[in-house]
């Protein structure tokens, strides 16, 4: 199994102190920084555009994993790439031309990701396995941080890992990841764990929170 990577989601950070928050999780051991882009259309919430990605880029050299919950995504791929994303994920459900979106992201020189909602069957991924660098499995319904992990997604993660046998594709688990759920995510085959509220929520420092998730997963 690949090493476990922890990707704090800045959706749960203090938006008025983005620079400080990004630097803090960078220094606390974050492997990637996860940026949730929402459009109030594909999901019922609105967050950031490419200029926020550009601003975050100035505060860390860690990979920026941009999760697009927008529909359509294609008109914005170049802007997010140019703003400093390292990886861009588009939702399987967000348009009829997933393959084209993935192809465009790779042509822009970025890692291409396909994100899949809890209710979407894994068959939607079968024909794009050669075209992705990461598959992002939603373990909550997209749109908000702080929701409870949907346990029924665990067998789905394992099925996707089996489907990827022989390929070095990251499986990113997104939603409800905590020290309590991280072990099961990793056991099922997830190797990148996104965590918003479990890192930025109250309590002890970010280094301890990140370490707790990592320790539970390894």
- The contact pattern for ligand DX5, residues 165-194, with x = CB under 6 A and - = no contact, is ---------xxxx----------------x
Site for Zn ion in 65-104 (CB under 5 A): 67
Is 26 considered catalytic here?
A: no
Tell me: does residue 21 bind Zn ion (CB under 5 A). Answer: no
Tokens of 171: 């499986």
Looking up tokens 């688990």 gives 173
Q: What count of other Cβ atoms lies within 10 Å of the Cβ of residue 96?
A: 7
Tell me: does residue 36 bind Zn ion (CB under 5 A). Answer: yes
Site for ligand DX5 in 53-72 (CB under 6 A): 67
Burial 38-71, CB ≥16 within 10 A → b, else e: bbeebbeeebbebebbbebbebbebbbbbbbbbe
> Do 75 and 97 form a contact (C-beta atoms < 8 A)?
no
Three-class DSSP labels, 139-151: CCCCCCCCCCCCC
Residue 103 vs 120, nearer CB to ligand DX5: 120
Residue 194 vs 217, nearer CB to ligand DX5: 194
| φ, ψ dihedrals at 109, nearest 5° | 85, 20
Tell me: does residue 39 bind Zn ion (CB under 5 A). Answer: no
> Do 113 and 135 form a contact (C-beta atoms < 8 A)?
yes
CB of 10 to ligand DX5, least distance (A): 8
Stretch that binds ligand DX5, among 15-23, 57-65, 117-125, 195-203 (CB under 6 A): 195-203
Residue 81 vs 193, nearer CB to ligand DX5: 193
Q: Which helix (H) or strand (E) holds 77?
A: helix 77-83
- Rounded distance, CA 43 to CA 33, Å? 21
29 annotated binding-site participant: no
Q: Which residues are annotated as a binding site for a divalent metal cation?
A: 34, 36, 67, 174
Q: Which residues bind ligand DX5 (CB under 6 A)?
A: 9, 11-12, 34, 36, 67, 140, 142-143, 145-147, 174-177, 194-198
Q: Which residues are annotated as a binding site for substrate?
A: 9, 67, 143-146, 174-176, 196-197
Catalytic residues, by residue number, are 36, 174
């Amino acid at each position: 199994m690949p090493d476990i990577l922890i990707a704090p989601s800045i959706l749960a950070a203090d938006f008025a102190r983005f620079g400080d928050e990004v630097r803090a999780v960078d220094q606390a051991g974050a492997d990637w920084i996860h940026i949730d882009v929402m459009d109030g259309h594909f999901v019922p919430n609105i967050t950031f555009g490419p200029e926020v990605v550009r601003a975050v880029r100035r505060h860390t050299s860690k990979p920026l994993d941009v999760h697009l919950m927008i529909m359509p995504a294609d008109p914005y791929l170049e802007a997010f790439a140019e703003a400093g994303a390292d990886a861009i994920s588009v939702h399987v459900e967000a348009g009829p031309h997933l393959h084209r979106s993935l192809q465009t992201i790779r042509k822009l020189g970025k890692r291409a990701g396909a994100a899949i909602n809890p209710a979407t069957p894994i068959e939607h991924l079968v024909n794009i396995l050669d075209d992705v660098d990461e598959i992002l499995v939603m373990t909550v319904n997209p749109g908000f941080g702080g929701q409870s992990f949907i346990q029924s997604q665990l067998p789905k993660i394992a099925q996707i890992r089996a489907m990827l046998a022989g390929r070095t594709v990251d499986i990113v688990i997104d939603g409800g990841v905590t020290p309590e759920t991280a072990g099961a995510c990793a056991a099922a085959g997830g190797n990148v764990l996104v965590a918003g509220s479990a890192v930025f929520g109250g309590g002890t420092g970010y280094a301890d929170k990140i370490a707790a998730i990592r320790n539970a997963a390894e």
